[in-house]
């Protein structure tokens, strides 16, 4: 139960959020589509990096990733150690996007290939946002409210509205309002504030979990008794070994592992990473709002540094929750316990809310709930802004190119409202999904969507022979095959026929098929004229492009990149054998 102090912290957060939105509006009035969708291309690197991080950390991380840590240890860490992919984006992909002056990723595909490629990516992206990102984010956030605030209810005309629906409607409507009113400028500056709240809140969960484990008096491997916060990590390792979960909680698994075969994970996680961090409108839009290419790259590098945190903010607390549960540690006179499913398995999606509810003292609990709301709202606001940009720029403006700027702003805001309603309408479907495995569900769906998009973008940048026909066929057939696999999984599960292809292995196969289709189709049509590819392909760069790109970075950017990549390598080295 939340106390008045916790509620004060939550309301203070909303007051701070309103103040930031007002500040953003005064700083930049919304008078054109560029103001609404790209903040007038005036945002600094600090806000860009924080916005990249806050946009990525949604309620699916709080619910799904922590739950994955409790049920499968570090298996999902590969998707959260993608800081190196963001570094690659900042050096390899970003100069092409920024210098081309585009507002969306489909618009870039049109520059490189033609209008049909833009239409296909626009429609695929819009469908994916509504059916996966918005719905999953709203569902996970509403579930958090249901666990944390069961006492919050409304009685209307004899019908009781639970905290699940109150939380869902409240956050979606508020996020939709400040996204549509303040545009991307309001989104990135609120993200700057929310990043601090998310970090403070989630780190406190980790710290208190380690404290309770370290002071539990558990017997360590060397025969001594745990007596401090530093011993909490050792207690976790001892618990994993004692419960026979060493293989399950490891970083890598055998080729025959049903959920996380190492080869499938290696291919699928990188494919999803390149799609999400290097080609998806949701992330790239923030870098396109930068003052210049230098700020865009440094914002991406700052976002990459922050991306090193989620393993320790969400996966590790989930693992600590597993240890607290199995050691039956008493907190305030009551044994810590995570709710169980039928059959006795942990209800993984309840792990993080249970940690917050049971571990944190008054005040801290309010701070963390505010952080959870911050994560939910920042992800939703970012999603709404990206979707409205895609629809307005890539659909409406293409159909009606003479539309005045003020009307485009109105269309963008109206699109945000429509996306908000669609997210709410899809909620009953998400609520019907059985508990557990939200994060695994997300990665599986993305592994079917990402391969054809990655194939077309990478081939477009590195192979000058790639043309419109190759892009259209690669995107279309790849997307159809991915959706067939998704439909087969939904209907038959893993019981029949070709559905037995493990999801992450299928992602690698689909990537190879998409590349083959795009290459074969490209060879059946004339090659594009080299002059039309200037600034759009690595083999067709003029001296002006090279010079401006070189002047956009210095030793600071190189050192920052090396530090981030080095830290990723260190994390892999440690976690590879962390259980001995």
For residue 230, pLDDT over 90 is answered with no
Mean pLDDT confidence for 112-123: 90
Q: Is the dihedral of CA 464, 467, 471, 473 positive or negative?
A: negative
pLDDT average, residue stretch 241-262: 88
The residue assigned the tokens 């995107």 is 475
Residue 259 to residue 265: CA distance in whole angstroms = 9
Give the predicted TM-score (pTM) of the model: 0.86
* Rounded Cα distance, 30 and 187, in Å: 13
Measured CA to CA, the distance from residue 507 to residue 445 in angstroms comes to 10
Give yes or no for residue 106 having a pLDDT over 80. Answer: yes
**Is residue 65 within 8 Å of residue 320, measured between CB atoms?**
no
Give the span between the Cα atoms of 265 and 252, in whole angstroms: 9
Cβ–Cβ under 8 Å, residues 304 and 287? no
Our count of domains for the chain comes to: 1
Q: Which is more confident, 55 or 568?
A: 568
**Chain position carrying tokens 């230098």:** 294
**pLDDT bracket for residue 497 (50, 70, 90):** very low
pLDDT of residue 282: 81
Q: Would you state the pLDDT for residue 386?
A: 77
How far apart CA 45 and CA 26 sit, in angstroms, is: 20
> Distance between CA 71 and CA 64 in Å, rounded?
10
**CA 115 to CA 459: how far, in whole Å?**
18
- The DSSP H or E segment spanning 155 is strand 154-156
Pick the closest to residue 134 from 106, 185, 168 (CA basis): 168
Number of Cβ within 10 Å of residue 281's Cβ equals 27
Token code pair at residue 135: 């719905």
Specify which residues 330 forms β-bridges with.
335
For residue 72, the enclosing domain spans 4-576
Q: Which range is least confidently modeled, 210-214, 373-377, 464-468?
A: 373-377
Of 41-45, 133-137, 281-285, 322-326, the least confident: 133-137
Q: What is the CATH number of the domain that holds 557?
A: 1.20.1730.10
- Three-state SS sequence of 163-206: HHHHHHHHHHHHHHHHHHHHHHHHHHHHHHHHHHHHHHHHHHHH
Task: Please report, rounded to a whole number, the percentage of residues in the chain having pLDDT higher than 90.
Answer: 30
Residue 279: the pLDDT is 94
Tell me what percent of the residues of the chain surpass a pLDDT of 70. Answer: 87
In the prediction, which pLDDT does 184 show? 61
Instruction: Indicate whether 434 pLDDT > 80.
Output: no
Q: Identify the pLDDT of residue 344.
A: 75
H-state helical runs in 275-404: 281-288, 293-306, 310, 316-326, 351-359, 364-391, 397-399
Query: Which residues on neighbouring strands pair with residue 346, listed in sequence order?
Result: 340
Over residues 445-466, the pLDDT tens digits come to: 788 889 999 999 999 999 999 9
- The better pLDDT of the pair 496, 522 is held by 522
The Cα–Cα gap between 138 and 189 comes to 22
Q: Which of 86, 33, 450 has its CA nearest to residue 287?
A: 86
How far is residue 507's CA from residue 263's CA, in Å, rounded to a whole number? Answer: 11
Among candidate residues 518, 392, 452, 398, the one with its CA nearest the CA of residue 118: 398
Query: pLDDT category, 91, cuts 50, 70, 90?
Result: very high
CB 89 within 8 A of CB 300: yes
């Amino acid at each position: 139960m939340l106390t008045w102090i916790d509620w004060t912290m939550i309301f203070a957060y909303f007051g701070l959020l309103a103040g930031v939105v007002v500040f953003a509006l005064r700083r930049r009035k919304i008078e054109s589509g560029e103001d609404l969708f790209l903040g007038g291309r005036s945002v600094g690197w600090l806000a860009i990096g924080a916005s990249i991080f806050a946009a990525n950390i949604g309620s699916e991380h709080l619910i799904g990733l922590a739950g994955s840590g409790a049920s499968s240890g570090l298996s999902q860490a590969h998707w959260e150690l993608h800081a190196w992919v963001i570094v690659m984006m900042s050096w390899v992909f970003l100069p092409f996007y920024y210098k081309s002056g585009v507002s969306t990723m489909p618009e870039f595909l049109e520059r490189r290939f033609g209008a049909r490629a833009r239409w296909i990516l626009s429609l695929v992206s819009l469908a994916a946002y509504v059916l996966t990102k918005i719905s999953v984010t709203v569902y996970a956030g509403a579930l958090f409210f249901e666990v944390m605030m069961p006492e919050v209810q409304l009685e209307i005309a004899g019908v009781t509205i639970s905290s699940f629906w109150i939380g869902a409607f409240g956050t979606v409507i508020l996020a939709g309002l400040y996204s549509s009113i303040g545009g991307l400028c309001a989104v990135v500056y609120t993200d700057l504030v929310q990043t601090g709240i998310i970090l403070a809140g989630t780190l406190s969960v980790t710290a208190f979990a380690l404290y309770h484990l370290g002071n539990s008096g558990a017997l360590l491997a060397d025969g001594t008794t745990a007596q401090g916060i530093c011993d909490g990590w050792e207690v976790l390792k001892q618990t994993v070994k004692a419960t026979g979960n060493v293989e399950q909680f490891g970083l890598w698994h055998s080729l025959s592992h049903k959920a996380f075969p190492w080869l499938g994970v290696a291919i699928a996680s990188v494919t999803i990473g390149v799609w999400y961090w290097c080609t998806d409108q949701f992330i790239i839009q923030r870098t396109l709002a930068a003052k210049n290419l230098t700020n865009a790259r440094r914002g991406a590098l700052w976002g990459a540094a922050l991306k090193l945190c989620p393993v320790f903010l969400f996966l590790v607390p989930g693992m600590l929750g597993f240890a607290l549960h199995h050691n039956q540690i008493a907190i305030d006179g009551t044994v810590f316990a995570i709710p169980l499913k039928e059959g006795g398995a942990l209800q993984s999606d309840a792990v993080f809310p249970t940690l917050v509810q049971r571990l944190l003292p008054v005040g801290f609990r309010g701070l963390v709930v505010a952080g959870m709301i911050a994560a939910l709202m920042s992800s939703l606001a970012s999603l709404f802004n990206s979707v409205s940009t895609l629809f307005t720029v890539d659909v409406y403006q293409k159909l009606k190119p003479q539309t005045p700027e003020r009307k485009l702003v109105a269309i963008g805001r109206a699109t945000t409202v429509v996306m908000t309603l669609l997210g709410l309408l899809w909620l009953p479907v998400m609520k019907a999904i059985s508990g557990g495995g939200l994060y695994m569900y997300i990665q599986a769906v993305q592994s079917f969507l990402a391969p054809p998009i990655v194939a077309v973008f990478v081939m477009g940048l590195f192979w000058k022979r790639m043309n419109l026909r190759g892009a259209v066929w690669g995107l279309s057939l790849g997307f159809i095959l991915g959706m067939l696999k998704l439909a087969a999984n939904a209907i038959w599960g893993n019981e029949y026929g070709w559905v037995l292809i493990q999801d992450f292995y299928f992602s690698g196969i689909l990537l190879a098929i998409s590349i083959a289709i795009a290459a074969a189709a490209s060879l059946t049509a004339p090659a594009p004229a080299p002059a039309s590819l200037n600034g759009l392909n690595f083999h067709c760069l003029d001296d002006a492009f090279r010079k401006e790109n070189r002047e956009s970075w210095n030793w600071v950017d190189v050192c920052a990149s090396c530090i981030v990549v080095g830290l990723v390598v260190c994390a892999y080295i440690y976690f590879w054998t962390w259980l001995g």
